[in-house]
Structure 1
Amino acid sequence: MNGVRTTSGQKIEPFGRKFGKLPKRALKRVGIVDVGSNSIRLVVFDGAARSPAYFYNEKVMAGLGQDMATTGRLNPAGVERGFSALARFAALAKSMDIEPLTCVATAAVREAEDGPAFQARVEKETGLKLWVIDGQEEARLSAQGVLLGWPDAKGLVCDIGGNSLELAVVENGKVGKRVTSQLGPFRLQQVPADKLQAHITAILTELAQEVGTDHERIYLVGGSWRAIARLDMERSDYPMTVLHEYRMTPEAVAQTIDWMGQHDLNTLRGKVGISSSRIELVPLAGQVLSQLIGVFAPTELAVSSFGIREGLLYEHMSETLRRRDPLIEAARFTEKQMARLPGFGKKLYQFLLPLFPDLPPERDRLMQAACLLHDTAWRAHPDYRAEACFDNVTRANMAALSHPERIYLGLALLHRYKNNRAQSQLAPLFALLSEEEILAAEILGKAMRFGAMFAIDDLADAASLVHVPGESVTLNLTKTGRALMGEVARSRFQSLCKSMKVEGRIE
């Protein structure tokens, strides 16, 4: 992209060069406003760390782009709701000492006849400068949001808004070809029902010629897609409600769309907590999704809660920071803020490594995260620490963590505080793991439960482990280690060895 133009014709640089690549500690809180066709949202990120925390998040369903397809103008009621929201967001940002806010406007403002007037009024009366971006830039930023959450993402990002739909190819940490269209539900409301399917298919077929159809996975960005995913969870009685990284097969999507047609949407809305303004657009979004699957034939669809706002945050990151693992960065941050002995997690990981030889990379990173998080729930009542650990991880706003991985990590932390999981109210979630994965999580948890007994600065000088797979685990103790090896530690060591089905030796 060679830059976008403001309403006055002044050329500005693309966001990447406007922000520059700042080091991790050069930023504190970052405030971003996304002015979309249906919603306007303020997000304040707590710094530009690789896995940022959401310090503040507020959304207003303004409906700026409603009826724009027929009038060519922004919805008058939406304009007033939108202006009220932006005035509030400006005041909030000022009170948080976050200035200036980065504000982007997408399809509705860029296409409406009175978009420039709305833009000028916002700047004059609130001081907020709206950067009106074109469809290609919108696609790029949405794709970057997916890369923030999925560093190894490979496939096609599909971002649906009220008045537009964007596609972008992602691979090897980069955004490739990208295209935009007017396939948003507000636009489709103006297409006769008997011509709708052919209309959607024709546009998607044209887009496919630009970005190709050889994409096994489609990453779904946008509120309408998330609403369909939440309904898919309801239909299939899925045990979690975390939408980020929720996976669906084309067959499951087809079943859910059929199921939606057989039920009253307002009844479903009440069950899953979707807003009335959002649920009205879901049937049209469902038709787009059906045709999207038909044209691109993916094997899997993955829901991303990260989009244009996270893509803007990604602009702040240096290449070095982008290459870091979001899960490990989030775990390190949590340990630093909440653990009794920050820094011990790394020592615990090193201490336990001999128990897990030839650990595959995807399991090793979970072990690292678990060790960093193993003591971050200590403020909870002892009776509830195990469940608090599990709940914190499975519901945490973490990236680069699939749903089964969330359960694995949560179960390991549960066993860090509790030997037995029998009759746990969390049992339905365990079904997302195989028996082998459940046992592996239990062993890791019991290993951390034992290792936590040596929570001193010089752990490496107190004890070490020698593991002969399938036969024994030997604990070698120094003088300091012998002093720490009390009755409880011995009991935890034997429990660990029992789960590993090996003989436990203490020397």
Structure 2
Amino acid sequence: MFATEPYLVGGTWRALAKFARQHIDWPLNDTHGFELDPAKTTKILKALARTDPTELNTARGISSMRADALPDAGALLQILIEELQPDRLVFSSWGLREGLLYKRLEPAARTQDPLLAGMAAFATPRGCAPQRAARIAGWTVGAVSSATPGRERWRLAATMLAMASQSIEKNLRSRQSLDWALHKRWVGLSAEGRAMIAATVLSNSGETELPPELAMLADANLLEEGVRLGLAIRLFRRLDGGSDKLLEASALTAQGGRLLLSLGESRAALRGYQLDKDLANLAARLALDPALEVVPDEQIRRH
């Protein structure tokens, strides 16, 4: 039996993916992991057949070599769709060379999650190692948890990227971190995962009005989850002095209709207008009442 999700590997297929993205106004520019269902692909291939190869080169930014080959490649792909009847088509940005390099990796390296490994390599020199991100994500989960199992890796990746974005100049942070989430070459991350991470990094920067293109990539519930996570990370940063000791002197929980921030006595001086504001913003997003209490440090540690 044929696989129901054939992967298209090679430069001509990458060029076809570029044409398809432009044709449907897809908001992502990374070919890797780009998906199309057969019905939509057939419509795109019909449009491709009506397009002059010269236009593909001059107006679409596709190299002349690939532009000349695309009409024939499109005709071949249509035959494959009819024969294989796949559920969807998936495009790859990688090819045989990358496969050969992958085979040379140590076995332990091959077992790593490609998204988390890549995100860790990117975020660690920008101030957020994966161990620290895991503890921060754990700090948020008492109030902002996922309704869908399996999203923990997205939440960890989003936390790493949100914390790493603090290395960017404030005036550029929102735009740059959004580009990181949507357009950087992440492996093992779907379009909806990118959208969720984008919502996180934006709300971490104080922007909860999301750009409309994110709605093309993920449903409203997932985007809201990203916004809430970003606001929780922003609240943590208001307390954070770059030391993990804070994680032992504060706790965030949702209980009894309240969003409760508990501060150990040793950190009571951190309370202020901005902290109260960030707590209130997150509470409003959760439809909870904000509350802050100062308790003995030992009580926090037991929590």
Q: TM-score, normalised by structure 2?
A: 0.89
> 1:315 and 1:341 mapped to 2: Cα distance?
27
Aligned partners of 2:102 and 2:43: how far apart in 1?
Answer: 35
> Which residue in the other structure is 1:462 paired with?
249
Distance apart, 1:221 and its partner CA: 0.5
User: How far did 1:268 drift?
Assistant: 2.6
3-state SS in 2 of match to 1:274: coil
For the pair shown, which has the larger CA radius of gyration, 1 or 2? 1
1:132-171 map, 5 Å: none
Higher RCO structure (Cα 8 Å, ≥6 apart): 2
Instruction: Answer yes or no: is the 8 Å Cα contact 1:412–1:444 preserved in 2.
Output: yes
Q: How does 1:237-276 map to 2 (within 5 A)?
A: 237-276=25-64
Contact 2:199/2:223 (8 A) holds in 1: yes
Distance change >3 Å, CA 253–CA 358, structure 1 → 2: closer
User: What residue in structure 1 maps to residue 224 of structure 2?
Assistant: 439
Tell whether the 8 Å contact from 1:345 to 1:373 is kept in structure 2 after alignment.
no
Closer, same or farther: CA 418–357 of 1 in aligned 2, 3 Å: closer
Shifted more, 304-313 versus 338-347: the winner is: 338-347
Q: Deviations over 1:290-323 (max 9, x none)?
A: 1111111101001111221221121122333222
Question: What displacement does 1:233 show?
Answer: 1.4
2:74 paired with 1:289: no
Residues 23-102 of structure 1: pairs in structure 2 closer than 5 A: none
Query: 5 Å matches for 1:292-371?
Result: 292-339=80-127, 344-357=132-145, 359-371=147-159
Q: Read off the aligned partner of 2:259 and give its amino acid letter.
A: V
Distance in 2, Cα, partners of 1:335 & 1:358 = 23
Number of residue pairs matched?
291
Q: Does residue 1:480 correspond to 2:234, yes or no?
A: no
After superposition, where does 1:404-415 map in structure 2 within 5 Å?
404-415=192-203
Give the Cα–Cα distance (whole angstroms) in 2 for the partners of residues 485 and 320 of structure 1. Answer: 45
Q: Secondary structure at the match of 2:186?
A: coil
For residues 309 and 348 of structure 1, do their structure 2 counterparts lie closer, same or farther at Cα, with a shift above 3 Å needed?
Answer: same
Aligned to 1:501: 287
Amino acid at match of 2:117: E
Distance of aligned partners of 1:245 and 1:342 in 2 relative to their CA distance in 1, 3 Å threshold:
closer
Contact 2:57–2:67 under 8 Å retained in 1:
yes
Q: Could you say which structure has the higher strand fraction?
A: 1
SS in structure 1 at match of 2:57: helix
Structure 2 Cα separation of the partners of residues 392 and 480 of structure 1: 37
For 2:117 and 2:271, the matched residues in 1 are separated by: 32
Code of the residue aligned with 1:320 in structure 2: it is: A
SS of aligned partner of 1:477: strand
Q: How many Å separate the matches in 1 of 2:146 and 2:54?
A: 52
After the TM superposition, which parts of structure 1 deviate over 4 Å for at least 4 consecutive aligned residues? Answer: 340-343
Q: SS of the counterpart of 2:86?
A: coil
SS state of the match for residue 458, structure 1? helix
Structure 2 unaligned blocks of 5 or more: 294-303
Counterpart position of 2:208: 420
The 1:342–1:434 alpha-carbon spacing in structure 2 relative to 1, beyond 3 Å, is closer
Q: Which runs of 5+ in 1 are unaligned?
A: 1-211
| CA deviations over 1:164-213 (Å, ceiling 9, x no partner) | xxxxxxxxxxxxxxxxxxxxxxxxxxxxxxxxxxxxxxxxxxxxxxxx32
Letter paired with 2:246: L
Q: Is this contact kept in 1: 2:208–2:227, CA < 8 A?
A: no
Report percent identity of matched pairs.
24
